[in-house]
Structures are given as C-alpha cells and as structure tokens.
Structure 1
Amino acid sequence: MTLFEELKARGLIAQVTNEDEIATMINAGKATFYIGFDPTADSLHVGHFMALCLMKRMQMAGNRPIALIGGGTAMIGDPSGRSDMRSMMTVETIQHNCDCFKKQMERFIEFGEGKALMVNNADWLMQLNYIDFIREVGSCFSVNNMLRAECFKQRMEKGLSFLEFNYMPMQSYDFYYLFKNYGCNMQFGGNDQWSNMLGGTELIRRKLGKDAHAMTITLLLNAEGKKMGKTAAGAVWLDPSKTSPYDFFQYWRNVDDADVLKCIRMLTFLPLEQIEEMDKWEGAQLNRAKEILAFELTSLVHGKEEADKAMEAAKSIFVSGGASENMPTTQLVAEDFADGKIGVLTLLVRCGLAASNSEARKLVQGGGVSLDGEKLTDPKCML
C-alpha cells in the first residue's frame, strides 16, 4: 500500500486538487508541504493532533514538513468557524505562544538542516506595505467569490469586520511566499480552511503562471478535531501542566464506542491490518480498544513511562476500585474551607473535575461522582 493509499484508508483525506499528481509526489517523498497553526494559546491541544500525526507520517516517508506558525495572521484572527470576532493578542503573547508550540512539535517532527522547518508568517507579513499588498495580491481575489466561502458565510449575519476580511488573502500569500522562498509545493488543512487554501493555490498560478505546481489537500476531520479538543471542563492540552498525562489518557479512554476505531485509524501508527482485526471487536472488547488508543496517544505525546503510569492508575481505579500515586492531585488551602467544611460542588470545581457549580451539580445528580467508592447523590453535601 502506498502512503497516499494509506492516508485514504485511514480516513484522513477529504478533498484534493490534482489527485494523481499529489499521490505521485507524496509516495515518492518529493512533497514539501506546510500546515498552519494559529498561536491562540500557549499550548497545542488535541484538536491539533491529527495535523501533527500527519506531519509525522509524511516525514517518515521522506517528505519535508513546514510548520507555519501564524504569528502575523494571529494579529487579525481567522473567522473560520467563528460566530464572533477573536480577541486581539499582543505581539509578546503571540511570540510566547509560538515558542511553546515549537517545543511541543519537536515530539512529533524532526527539525534541522534538510529536515522539517518551522517558520513564522510574521517575518514576512509584518513587513508588507499595505498599498503594495492590495495591488499585488488583492487584485487577484474576487469579492463575490470570497463572500461565497463558508468561512465568511456564517459571520455575515452578525457582521464581518474588514480586518477579518483580509485573512483569506493573507493566508493565501503565505502559500505564495513559501512556494517562492522554500520550494513548498503542497498545503494541508482542515475542511474549514478549504476556501482559504484554494485561494493560495490560485494566487500562485495567477502570479507565477499555470505551470506553477501548487497542490491543495484537506484532512477529513481537522475541523471536527478542533471541537474534539474541547470538553465540558475545558480544553484537552498537550502541555502536561495544563492537562496531566493521566487526564490525557482518560480523555481518550472515554471516547464514544462509535469513534474509537476511527480515532485509532487516524491518530495511531498501528498497522492497518491490526486495526482491521480490531474492527470486529464489540461489547467489552471495545474497552480494550479504548485502552490501546489511550496508551498509544499518551505515549506519543508524553512518552511511554507516563503512559504506563496512566494505565496503572486507570486500572487501580476501574479494576480494583482503589487510588494510585500516579493520579493527579489537588492541594487545598485553609481558604477553601468554611468552618472546616467544603461543599462537594466547590470541591469538584476546585479539583478541575467540573468547569462550574452547575456542571458539578449535574455530575452529582447523574450519579457520576463517588467518594471512597460510594456514590454521592446530594449536591448539597458538605465534606
């Protein structure tokens, strides 16, 4: 099976331009491709996981990844998938987030001479003269076509700022710049980025001629993956100080039955033959599949040692009903108590097990909270 066939078999590819040419280039290890990451936080989350795994797969096959950090486009904000305008970040915050991203990406991608590159589009976008930009780049875009793009449609009712309207031409310019300066001949992104990505491919052809080979390809679930990165208690981060390896393990251990094999195909590096055998599993065997998924991904992000600890802690809880030294802990202080007591709802929020008192109340009322092996049923319980 070729690499391109494997990517399709794993359910990673949704749309492409020039499929035969893309397949030939990827299979031969001749692609220099980029994926963009907006530095909107100081950690990547599981919504970025698919892109990181894809970059690793591609690099293992001889292709060259470029991790594009959107330090420049972050000054504007991507309207894709948004019902409102993003908050503005300072230059210092953006740079800090970019630095954090690189450290986390190094667990997936090998950077260095002749290997993967990390670039920041602030290095060229911040240097652009606006008049020159709208003459050279803006003239290549049809406003009518832009307004038909999905990334703008959902914002039209509430209002789309002119600032955000510039995002598509600027992202397109990224591909044009990378093509000219780094030999980048391919771009990957989620379905929610399709219009922006096509803009980059078209810009290259219009500026450099029809013979310019620029390819576009999208990942099937990248947009869904962004939603996957959010849980009721907040985001699931790759930074262990934000989401502990145990909580990261538990996130994947608790995926829906219907999603577990899909996640194993897309996100792990297990052989497809092994996954096809697991596809026959049902009932209690799906719990084993979830353990495999959780262990493989925790090993990838945090290392095998942390994955072993998380697995041991999970078995201590769910098999023997006990606790484990590898479980995350929260230290309470005197101010957390009133007359020596603390309410169970406050405790759940304080420990990060619920995002709010109302969510904690639902957990208790739904039978989802136990203390020393016994379920708590009274949301007014004081401990």
Structure 2
Amino acid sequence: MLKDFIEEAKWRGMIHDVMPGTQDCLNQEMTATYVGFDPTADSLHVGNLVQIMTLVHFQKCGHKPIALVGGATGMVGDPSGKSAERNLLDEDTLQHNLKCVQKQLEKFLAFEGNNLAEVVNNYDWFKEFSFLEFIRDVGKHITVNYMMSKDSVKSRLESGLSFTEFSYQLVQGYDFYYLWKNKNVKLQLGGSDQWGNIVTGTELIRRKGQGEAYAMTTPLITKADGSKFGKSEGGNVWLDAKKTSPFKFYQYWINASDEDVVKYIKIFSIKPKDDILNLIAQHQEAPHLRLLQKALAEEVTARVHSKEDLELAQKASDILFGKSTLDDLKSLDEQTFNEIFEGVPTANISWDKLNNGLNIIDALVAESEFLKSNGEAIRALKQNAIAVNKTKVAKDYQLTSQDLINDKYVLINKGKKNTYVLKFED
C-alpha cells in the first residue's frame, strides 16, 4: 500500500521545492526515484544523510529508491555551490570511493522486497558514449540560453567556469533521462542547490522522450548558531568509523542544541510521527534531560555503525562526564581513550618505572609534576581525593602494569574537577 510521501516529507521539514504534479504521479503507481551521490571521498558524511533519509522515507512509503553513485559525473565536477573548479579524480580512486559509498548506503536501504532499493553507477552508461554522440543526441535538446539561466552557472561567470563544469547539468540531465527510460524513474530528489540540474533532466525527458518527470529538493540544513550542519571542529563528521569514531559521531548528535534537535529528529529518525511528537513534547517539558538528543544519537549511531559501537560510545560518554567504572575504562580502545581525554594534562613516563611498582606520590609529583610537592600529594591522599582508574587510593599505593589501560595509560583524578593521564612507554 502506497503512503503519501509528499505529506510525510512535508511534516518532517524535508521539502524546499517540489514540482507541481509530483504527488499525483506518486499516487498512481509504485514509482522509482533517485538521488545522486558524489564519490569525491571514500566515505559519505553527515551532510549526505539528509538525502539518504529522503530515500529511506520514500521506500517506507512504498516506492522504489535508487541511489546513483556518480562514477561519470565524479570525473566532471558539479559547479553547484562551488566557488572554484575542483580537482578531478583518477579512475582508480573513483572506483575505490564508489565501493565504499555503496557499502554505506546498504546500511540504510532495504535491498529485498517488492520495492527493493538499487545502487547504480552512471559510468556504466557513459563509458561507451562518445563525445560526438552526446552533443548530437543530448546537447541539441537544451539551449545555451537555458543552461546560462541556472544559478550554478551565473554565480561562476565572473570567477570563471570551464566547459567541463558548464556541461555538468547536461550530464546529470542525461542521467535522469536514462533512468526514466530504462528504470521507470519519475522523480529525482536532491538538495536545494540541485534544482537547476534536476529540472534540466525533466526538460530533457520532455523534449527528447516526450515524457513527464518530476523534481523535489530538500532545504539546506543549518544550525541555530549559524555554523554548517555536518561540521565539527575537526571538519566533516564522516560515516566511516576510521574518519570519525563512533564516540565522536555519537557526541555530535548528543551535543545538538535544543532548537536544532527538534528539527533533526524529524529528518533523521525513522520513528513514526506520533512517537516523534510525543518525544518532542517530553523534551520541551524537561529539556535538561536531553531526551531528544539521546534518542536521536542512539538511533543514528546504531544504524550508521552498530549496537556494539553505540554501547561503547555511551560508555565513553559516561566516562567523559564522570559516570563510569573501571570495567568501562578497560573496555575502551586506544583511539576512543585518547579522544575522551584529548587536552587532559598528560605525562610520559618510562615503562621501567613500573618494574618494582611506582608509588602514587612519586607518580603525582616527581614523575609527572601534576602536583607541586609531596606535601600537597599526601594531603590530597589523606583527604581521599586521589583516584587511580576511578578507584580511590591511599598514600602507600603502588602503580604496576596491572593498572594499565591498553597496556599504556593510567587515569588519575584529584577530586571531581582535576583529571590527569600517565602514559607509560619504552
């Protein structure tokens, strides 16, 4: 049974522009739609999630989603939203990126069932398409005046636009035409900056194929503070755990502002409308509990990574905010440990110091200079203020290799506010 995709997208705040007649088309039959993904890196990032989720919701409404990875268009370069010509990638790099991107898309879309998802690569239909054939069979249907009217072109005329990038909208337009003709694709989805490229495709379908096709774009997602969605201090928030760890990924969502998270949960959660509205109401009654942030972070982290990665990220978050046990610390991998305690005062100490045991006072003063004197260390220990790996210790405590986390680190706390790390190396 088909559900109203436009209505679903509308209440979730996912529509910027939609071509008249789109809903009528979707109501008539199961329709295929596609979104293009640019393989300029070997991982998608959080910014791509908006388009991924449009396909997810589209499929849940009973339609067929197609994710197009641009093996051909990645060799050209889309001028939309760009202020300068970008570097083009070689074919080997593109093929590697395509495989990585496809693997990530498979975590979101169902590839079994009546309206199974499909991943296509436009290189497959462009690789045998000669330049002369292209300008004869495609270029003659779209005028230069029409192409010049697009914002993506006009905004670059002063700074310079190569013929390569100028031709991009024709290449993307042909993608739409090819999928319309061969896979019954009636709708293309994309970000608001893609409107011009998408409608070029609908125009090509009308002129070359005497057919009808439709367009819908999503709004640019911005953060309440004006910063760019999908960015952190370290740059893009990637879906690849090697580029952005599950802990940092989880933290990105947990740290969303109250204003932003109301918008985010509608877009990035697959929970039904009533559940989301109920969560929003609970959140607004007690925003300090951060119920929305937790619900969203849990759902998205588990989907992008795994339930196991989510649990580790939650443990790491508890450690970060002082709610943890020794077992939690011992469960951390080295990368996550370093990310949690990034910026914490750290002392490098020779492994040999542990051979006969290292007294806690020497560790705090002579070896690390975390505390100024033995007297200060003794007073803190008598006040039961010193903890080794979250366990309070006395002045006669000896550090040994048994205390090491990841065979290298010891966590020291002085009271609730002071945290130090001892790093033992050869």
Match of 1:314 in 2: 317
Specify whether residues 231 and 312 from structure 1 end up closer, same or farther in structure 2 by C-alpha distance, changes over 3 A only.
same
1:226-375 to 2 correspondences below 5 Å: 227-280=228-281, 281-282=283-284, 284-285=287-288, 287-318=290-321, 320=323, 324=329, 325-326=331-332, 328-330=336-338, 374=417
- Flag the 1:291–1:90 CA change in 2: closer, same or farther, 3 A: same
Aligned to 2:6: 4
Bigger mean CA deviation after superposition, 108-117 or 187-196:
108-117
- 2:83: which partner in 1? 83
Q: Partners of 2:320 and 2:217 in 1: how far apart?
A: 40
Cα deviation digits, residues 297-355 of structure 1 (max 9, x gap): 111211223223322321232253777434713499xxx9999999xxxxxxxxxxxxx
Q: Once the 2 structures are TM-superposed, how far is the Cα of residue 154 of structure 1 from its aligned partner?
A: 2.6
| Structure 2 residue identity aligned to 1:62 | G
Gaps of 5+ in 1: 343-370, 377-383
1:140-169: CA deviation from partner (whole Å, max 9, x where unpaired): 223233223121233222111111101000
Q: Which residue is equivalent to 2:195?
A: 194
Query: Aligned partner of 1:315: which letter?
Result: D
State how far apart, in whole Å, the 1-side matches of 2:222 and 2:85 are: 18
Q: Deviations over 1:75-96 (max 9, x none)?
A: 1111111111111100000000
Residues 285, 338 of structure 1: alpha-carbon distance in 2 compared, 3 angstrom cutoff: closer
CA distance in 1, matches of 2:98, 2:71: 7
Q: Which amino acid aligns with 2:98?
A: C
Give the CA RMSD over aligned residues.
3.0
Matched, 1:23 2:23: yes
Q: Which residue of 2 aligns with 1:214?
A: 213
The sequence identity of aligned pairs, in percent, is 40
Q: Which stretch shifts more, 315-324 or 131-140?
A: 315-324
Does the CA-based 8 Å contact 2:45-2:239 persist in structure 1? yes
Give the Å deviation of 1:374.
4.3
Q: Which moved more, 1:107-116 or 1:145-154?
A: 107-116
C-alpha offsets along residues 157-202 of structure 1, whole Å, 9 cap, x if unaligned? 2111111101000000000011111111111111000000000001
Contact 2:42 2:96 in 1 (8 A): yes
Query: Which amino acid in structure 1 is aligned with residue 111 of structure 2?
Result: F
Give a deviation string over 1:61-83, Cα, whole Å, max 9, x none: 32111111100011111111111
Determine if contact 2:69/2:121 at 8 Å carries over to the other structure.
yes
Match of 2:52 in 1: 52
Helix, strand or coil at the partner of 2:190: strand
Mapped partners of 2:165, 2:290: distance in 1: 44
TM-score scaled to structure 2, two decimals?
A: 0.73
Structure in which a larger fraction of residues adopt strand: 2
Q: How far apart are residue 132 of structure 1 and its match?
A: 2.1
Separation (CA, whole Å) in 1 of partners of 2:418 and 2:162: 50
Cα 1:44–1:102 shift into 2, 3 Å: same
Is the 8 Å Cα contact of residues 4 and 61 (structure 2) preserved in structure 1?
A: no
Measured after TM superposition, the shift of residue 227 of structure 1 is 4.3
**C-alpha contact (below 8 Å) 2:191/2:217 kept by paired residues:** yes
Indicate if the aligned counterparts of 1:46 and 1:238 stay in contact, CA closer than 8 A: yes
Deviation track 1:270-316 (CA, whole Å, cap 9, x = no partner) reads: 22223223434346446222111111111121122322332232123
Question: 3-state SS of the aligned residue for 1:146?
Answer: helix
Counterpart of 2:8, as a letter, is E
Mapped contact 1:73–1:170 kept (Cα < 8 A): yes
Deviations 1:239-285 (A, max 9, x none): 11211111110011112222111000111012222322343434644
Query: Is the Cα–Cα contact under 8 Å of residues 279 and 291 in structure 2 kept in the other structure?
Result: no
The equivalent of 2:105 in structure 1 is: 105
Three-state SS of the structure 1 residue aligned to 2:49 is helix
User: How many pairs were matched up?
Assistant: 341
What is the letter of the counterpart of residue 278 of structure 2? E
Larger Rg: 2
Aligned-partner SS, 1:279: helix
The one-letter code sitting in structure 2 at the alignment partner of 1:92 is: D
Larger relative contact order, structure 1 or 2 (CA cutoff 8 Å, min sep 6): 1
Partners of 1:79 and 1:152 within 8 A in 2: yes
